[in-house]
Chain A
Amino acid sequence: MLIFEHSKPGRRAQAQAPSADKPAGIPEKLLRKRKPRLPEVSEMQAVRHYTRLSQKNFSIDTQFYPLGSCTMKYNPRACNSLAMLPGLINRHPLAPDTHSQGFMSAMHELQEILKEVTGMSAVSLAPMAGAQGEFSGIAMIRAYHDARNDTGRTEILVPDAAHGTNPATAVMCGYKAREIPTKADGDVDMDALQDALGPQTAGIMLTNPSTLGVFERRIKEIADRVHGAGGLLYYDGANLNAILGRVRPGDMGFDVIHMNLHKTFSTPHGGGGPGAGPVGVSERLLPFLPIPMVGTDGRDFHWLTEEQCPQSIGRLSAFAGNAGVLLRAYVYAKMLGAEGMHRVADYSTLNANYMLKRLMDAGFTAAYPERRATHEFIITLKKEAKELGVNAMDFAKRLLDYGMHAPTTYFPLLVPECFLIEPTETEARESLDAFVDAMIQIREEAKTDAEKLKGAPYSLPVRRLDDVRAARELDLHWQPGEDQA
């Protein structure tokens, strides 16, 4: 039930009721004639409504959530409490530097930590989300070529195993995205890469490990060839969790990287934000980093802006990134330390490989059986779909009844009927076992009663949704007086 459906004219939550006074100083013609159609409910009704909604959440705080490519790891509560300290949360973004030294020193240290972890020359925390991070990365590649009057470069290469947003980013920055195929073993097809490279190549966007859950083994050779053609390498940080503290994108030869702090550095995830997508660059892209950044003279901290960075691609928001999110990542990084970062990579990889092995032993089909998994892996349920008549979506929906969020389904597109499974380092062995056991159990159910799986889930507030009708007949809008049945 929507909160609008609880509405009764005249009912109020007095504590939150807006002032009835006409706002001063706004011309009469701009004032609205009709009251906004807000729901009218009591405070208790509002509290119950939203508490009930929150209880329906299926989240990392309540359930195992192995959503591949998304790194749904646990967010330690300490990050939250420290980022909410009054001195930080009450700082006005326009407060002078002299009143912001504590916050700025934390941001400066976060820049340094991310620089060290990724092996890049400098980091800007300005991008407000992963998408802005990607955009800044490619915008810097463009700025670099333009600054050298090298204007004939029109293409960005994107392997088909790259993160799904990459081609869109290339197009947003005015490039043509050119797809590079992957070989059956999961590595980039080097012959196809060689054919695609030329004077029109601005750069390549790679995720390593790739979306196929395997490490691109010939990355040095790829870097040499792309650089040889005059292009730059962009690293999508989606899968940084797998290599944290073990391998650095800077050492692999990348020129620019964006990081999703909500994935690797444990800031709150999903729901459209707020996010943070810092970018790191190699020496040659330094002048183009987005502003503002925090600089220091060794004692005090100050903002680096247009004045110090005249070639910057510019600002991405009114202020300096999502401060609250950046602070949470800072606390998380400080709690882990260098040793802890190693353990993130070790255990996220160990957990994934443990699950993969158990699933294969139980007769499920790995998409890349001869490859070691990174922090995530793919199984294909093609065989089950053919023999038992239940597809990946039926398995996914039934997992919800077993109290687990489904893995990513039908992505990457290269693998039919697939699950992309990412347990993360924060899960205990018991949860990993419970997932594998549930998969075995569901397969047994499919053998005896396939129809039952087609109707799953049975235990949640809503049953199987008609996603086709939802997409074909978009209905996102409720009006008073509409059918309330």
Chain B
Amino acid sequence: MSNTPDNLKYTKSHEWVRDEGDGTVSVGITDHAQELLGDLVFVELPEVGTQLTAGDECAVVESVKAASDVYSPLDGEVTEANEALADSPEAINEAPYDNWIFRLRLSNPAQLDELLDAEAYAALAEED
């Protein structure tokens, strides 16, 4: 059974979002997503400064089974990309919620309310 912390928000496409409380959020992929993908071997990060709209493809996580797009959960500008993941993609497998992939400065913070809560996401993951 995968882990779905209560303090995070989620998307149907298996990203998690942590509100940093200063107009920015951290984004990663869920425990369920890393479990489905298996051992990650490569992470492609977005460039800092990129303007994203919710639903845009902005990163790629690749395992020996599959390469999968990561979608921006919200509108905003990329302020930071987790460069450490380039050398150690396995960190996402080991601790998916400690290893964010990129950070966004939100241009439309109200969108946060449209994301799934832990309970709704866990129910969705269970169906998979």
Interface set of A (CB-CB < 8 Å, partner B): 409-411, 413, 416, 467-468, 471-472
Contacts and interface: CB of A to CB of B under 8 A. Distances in A.
A411 B66 CA distance: 8
7 contacts: A410-B65, A413-B66, A416-B36, A468-B64, A471-B41, A471-B64, A472-B90
A468 B65 CA distance: 10
B42 A413 contact: no
B98 interface: no
Contact of A468 (B36, B41, B66, B128): B41
Contact of A467 (B36, B64, B90): B64
A207 B51 CA distance: 33
B111 interface: no
Interface residues of B, number: 11
B66 A471 contact: no
A472 B68 contact: no
B39 interface: yes
B42 A471 contact: yes
- List of 4 A-B pairs having minimum Cβ-Cβ separation, nearest first: A471-B41, A468-B39, A410-B65, A467-B64
Contacts of B89: 472
Interface string B69-101: 000000000000000000001100000000000
Nearest to B93: A468
A158 B40 CA distance: 26
Contacts of B128: 416
Interface in B13-52: 36, 39, 41-42
Contacts of B68: 413
A324 to B, nearest CB: 34
B73 to A, nearest CB: 17
A467 B68 CA distance: 18
A215 B48 CA distance: 43
Contacts of A471: 41-42, 64
Contact of A410 (B39, B42, B66): B66
A432 B79 CA distance: 55
A467 B64 CA distance: 7
A452 to B, nearest CB: 21
Nearest to B88: A472
B66 A472 contact: no
Contacts of B36: 416
Interface centre among A409, A411, A416, A472 (most CB of B within 10 A): A472
B65 A472 contact: no
A416 B127 CA distance: 12
A411 B41 CA distance: 18
B40 to A, nearest CB: 9
Contacts of A416: 36, 128
A409 B42 CA distance: 20
A416 B36 CA distance: 8
Contacts of B41: 468, 471-472
A375 to B, nearest CB: 23
A208 to B, nearest CB: 23
B44 to A, nearest CB: 14
A409 B63 CA distance: 14
Given A409-B65, A472-B89, 5 more contacts: A413-B66, A416-B128, A471-B41, A471-B42, A471-B64
A410 B36 CA distance: 10
Nearest to B87: A472
